[in-house]
């Protein structure tokens, strides 16, 4: 074979291969035998017709077509080997330049390549977060609210009440063609925020619950809201939406006193002071974890910016499909789907795919850079560490799956193998992030051990009652928080 390689700009390579005539002839004879087996040729049993008879029966063009396919399947791996090409995935036959001699043109996507900058020189100031008494009090108040006694009342909605609603929403189309569905009519219940509370994360928009104050059962109200440019929902920036609200019930809420009896009801606490200490420790762990996540992303983003990362378009397409697949799952958890999401935004598959590409590109670069650093630093996961984390994962899964589901999953060797592989990859990433964090903060805080990252919890109550299951849930949340996401509708 004669092979020429021509690098392309998009991290692919064009490979031009000239094959010896005898290779094609051999492939045509193999094609004839295969055709003879599946084609009824008068006077011959299946597979027994000689080459010239098969050639006359089906035509030389068919033999050439199938022969070329056989030749490619046989010789393509050898072509890559001789050309010293490391592919990302399957190549594509772009052109048959000549039949005599046979000259084929392939385009082959190359395996990703990373050239790291001086990542060990990256430094950022590191300040250990401190939990305030106000944050501790907020958790206690949250626990009191969760244990509140609720009772239906025949009066207007007030602060701290719970309201049961029928809710729907529509967005005003930019082209003036009317409204498009934003929230399909659904039941919704929410707590009416206190005036002093931070309602920036309130759904469907900040301050929504306080708009209901004064309404009574059976009342209907139309609320109009224009989403600001800084909203978390990219698709709703600057969009004016109309929300229809009908009150179904109003519930008053009575809160328990914050004392020893309350603490013992919350969990396995001797007294209220023990509950406070546990909340303080939990918030401290959580604050450190959140701060580390932000610190890590700052460090990694800097390292990516000073690195050269090359990958083929096929890798970007594959990762984009994965981003959309994960987005579909998140929408399903909200009772929606991708089709509804596209309709509410008035976009098609192509637009959605293009919107997801930047997220996919960021994820690819992050993964490739961290993998390269892990390789450079020889970071590995010990077998006992992997086994322990796998057992924690299985234990967490068992806490929300029935026995039959667990039995089916754990008996599927492919599933178990993939799960263990994913756990190992995630642990390797965590170890790499810990190393980079240690390096980046070494000048600002060299006195503290940075190789260990403790896991926090979202709520003190759940952490006390189900520490192992909660630990896994937090690990999952942490992993998801580090992934890029396409914004979803309110």
CATH code of the domain covering residue 220: 3.10.50.30
Average pLDDT in the 327-353 region?
A: 89
How many angstroms separate the CA atoms of 283 and 286, rounded?
A: 5
Domain termination residue (choose one: 225, 254, 283) = 254
Q: Nearest Cα to 176, choosing from 348, 346, 350?
A: 346
How many angstroms separate the CA atoms of 438 and 446, rounded?
A: 8
Domain termination residue (choose one: 254, 288, 306) = 254
Looking at the structure, tell me whether residues 382 and 428 fall in a common domain. yes
Q: Nearest Cα to 300, choosing from 205, 392, 434?
A: 434
How many angstroms separate the CA atoms of 427 and 417, rounded?
A: 15
Number of H helices, E strands in the chain: 14, 11
Looking at the structure, tell me whether residues 68 and 15 fall in a common domain. yes
Domain termination residue (choose one: 254, 287, 302) = 254
What burial letters (b/e) apply to 252-278, b meaning 16+ CB within 10 Å? bbeeeebeeebbeebbebeebeebbeb
pLDDT of residue 444: 54
**Residue 19 maps to a domain:** yes
pLDDT tens figures, 26-79: 999 999 999 999 999 898 988 899 999 999 999 999 999 999 999 999 999 999
- Please state, for a pLDDT cut of 90, what percent of the chain lies above it: 72
Question: The tokens of 160 are what?
Answer: 């701290």
Band of the pLDDT at 278, cuts 50, 70, 90? very high
Looking at the structure, tell me whether residues 107 and 248 fall in a common domain. no
91 three-state secondary structure: coil
**Residue 137 maps to a domain:** no
Q: Nearest Cα to 375, choosing from 161, 178, 113, 143?
A: 113
How many angstroms separate the CA atoms of 246 and 168, rounded?
A: 9
**Residue 404 maps to a domain:** yes
pLDDT tens figures, 389-445: 999 999 999 988 888 989 999 999 999 999 999 999 999 999 999 999 999 998 655
Q: CATH no. for residue 414?
A: 1.10.3120.10
Looking at the structure, tell me whether residues 125 and 105 fall in a common domain. no
Bridging pattern class, strands 12-19 and 240-254: unpaired
Looking at the structure, tell me whether residues 335 and 439 fall in a common domain. yes
Sequence-distant (6+) residues with CB within 8 A of 459 are: 139, 142, 143
Q: Residue 391's domain spans which residues?
A: 119-130+268-481
Sequence-distant (6+) residues with CB within 8 A of 66 are: 28, 31, 34, 35
The pLDDT of residue 457 is above 50: no
Question: The tokens of 376 are what?
Answer: 């450079």
230 three-state secondary structure: coil
Q: Which long-range contacts (CB under 8 A, 24 or more apart) does 261-269 make?
A: 262/144, 262/147, 265/147, 266/143, 266/147, 266/460, 266/461, 266/464, 267/460, 267/461, 267/464, 267/465, 268/464, 269/464
How many angstroms separate the CA atoms of 260 and 266, rounded?
A: 10
Question: The tokens of 308 are what?
Answer: 């050269």
Q: CATH no. for residue 79?
A: 3.30.70.1050
- The per-residue pLDDT of the chain, averaged, comes to 87
How many angstroms separate the CA atoms of 114 and 76, rounded?
A: 26
pLDDT tens figures, 223-271: 999 999 888 887 788 889 999 999 999 999 999 999 999 999 999 999 9
CB 318 within 8 Å of CB 364: no
Looking at the structure, tell me whether residues 125 and 250 fall in a common domain. no
**Residue 136 maps to a domain:** no
Looking at the structure, tell me whether residues 408 and 280 fall in a common domain. yes
How many angstroms separate the CA atoms of 48 and 24, rounded?
A: 21
pLDDT of residue 372: 97
Looking at the structure, tell me whether residues 275 and 153 fall in a common domain. no
**Residue 142 maps to a domain:** no
Looking at the structure, tell me whether residues 124 and 65 fall in a common domain. no
Looking at the structure, tell me whether residues 180 and 300 fall in a common domain. no
Phi, psi (rounded to 5 degrees) for 47: 85, 0
Band of the pLDDT at 461, cuts 50, 70, 90? very low
Looking at the structure, tell me whether residues 230 and 376 fall in a common domain. no
Looking at the structure, tell me whether residues 396 and 475 fall in a common domain. yes
Sheet with 12-19: list strands edge to edge.
2-7, 12-19, 102-109, 92-99
CB 289 within 8 Å of CB 454: yes
Does this model's pTM top 0.85? My answer is no
Sequence-distant (6+) residues with CB within 8 A of 56 are: none
- What burial class does residue 305 get, using C-beta atoms within 10 Å of its C-beta: 0-12 exposed, 13-18 middle, 19+ buried? exposed
**Residue 49 maps to a domain:** yes
What is the total count of domains within the chain? 3
Lowest mean pLDDT across 29-33, 299-303, 314-318, 340-344: 340-344
Kindly write down the DSSP assignment for every residue of 141-201, as one continuous string. HHHHHHT-EEEE-SS---TT-EEEEEEEEEEE-TTSS-EEEEEEEEEEEEEPPPTTS--TT
205 three-state secondary structure: coil
Question: The tokens of 300 are what?
Answer: 């990694």
């Amino acid at each position: 074979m004669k092979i020429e390689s021509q690098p392309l700009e998009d991290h692919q390579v064009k490979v031009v291969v000239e094959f010896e005539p005898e290779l094609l002839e051999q492939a045509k004879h193999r094609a004839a035998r295969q055709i003879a087996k599946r084609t009824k040729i008068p006077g011959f049993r299946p597979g027994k017709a000689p080459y010239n008879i098969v050639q006359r029966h089906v035509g030389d063009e068919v033999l050439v077509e199938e022969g070329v396919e056989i030749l490619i399947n046989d010789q393509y791996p050898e072509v890559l080997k001789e050309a010293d090409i490391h592919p990302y995935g399957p190549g594509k036959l772009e052109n048959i330049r000549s039949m005599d001699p046979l000259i084929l043109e392939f385009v082959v996507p190359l395996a990703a390549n990373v050239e790291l900058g001086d990542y060990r020189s990256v430094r950022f100031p590191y300040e250990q977060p401190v939990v305030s008494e106000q944050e501790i009090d907020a958790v206690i108040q949250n626990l009191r609210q969760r244990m509140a006694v609720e009772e239906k009342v025949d009066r207007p909605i007030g602060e701290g009440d719970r309201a049961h609603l029928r809710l729907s929403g529509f967005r005003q189309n930019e082209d003036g063609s009317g409204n498009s569905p934003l929230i399909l009519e659904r039941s919704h219940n929410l707590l009416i925020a206190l005036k002093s509370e931070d309602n920036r994360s309130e759904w469907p928009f900040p301050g929504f619950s306080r708009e209901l104050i004064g309404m009574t059962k059976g009342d209907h109200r139309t609320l109009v809201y224009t989403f600001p440019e800084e909203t978390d929902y990219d698709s709703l920036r600057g969009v004016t939406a109309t929300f229809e609200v009908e009150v179904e019930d109003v519930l008053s809420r009575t809160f328990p006193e914050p004392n020893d009896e309350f603490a013992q009801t919350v969990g396995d606490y001797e007294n209220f002071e023990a509950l406070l200490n546990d909340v303080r420790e939990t918030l401290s762990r959580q604050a450190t974890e959140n701060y580390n996540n932000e610190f890590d992303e700052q460090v990694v983003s800097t390292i990516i910016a000073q690195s050269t990362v090359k990958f083929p378009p096929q890798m970007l397409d594959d990762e984009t499909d994965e981003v959309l697949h994960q987005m579909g799952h998140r929408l399903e958890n909200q009772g929606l789907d991708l089709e509804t999401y596209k309709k509410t935004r008035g976009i098609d598959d192509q637009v959605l795919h293009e919107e997801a590409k930047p997220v996919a590109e960021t994820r690819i670069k992050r993964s490739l850079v961290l993998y390269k650093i892990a390789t450079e630093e020889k970071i590995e996961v010990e077998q006992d560490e992997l086994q322990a984390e796998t057992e924690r994962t299985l234990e967490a899964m068992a806490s929300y799956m029935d026995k039959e589901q667990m039995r089916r999953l754990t008996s599927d060797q492919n599933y178990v193998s993939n799960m263990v592989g994913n756990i190992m990859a995630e642990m390797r990433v965590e170890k790499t992030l810990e190393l980079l964090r240690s390096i980046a903060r070494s000048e600002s805080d060299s006195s503290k051990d940075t190789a260990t990252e403790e896991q926090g919890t979202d709520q003190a109550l759940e952490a006390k009652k189900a520490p192992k299951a909660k630990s896994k849930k937090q690990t999952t949340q942490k992993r998801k928080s580090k992934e890029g996401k396409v914004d979803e509708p309110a």
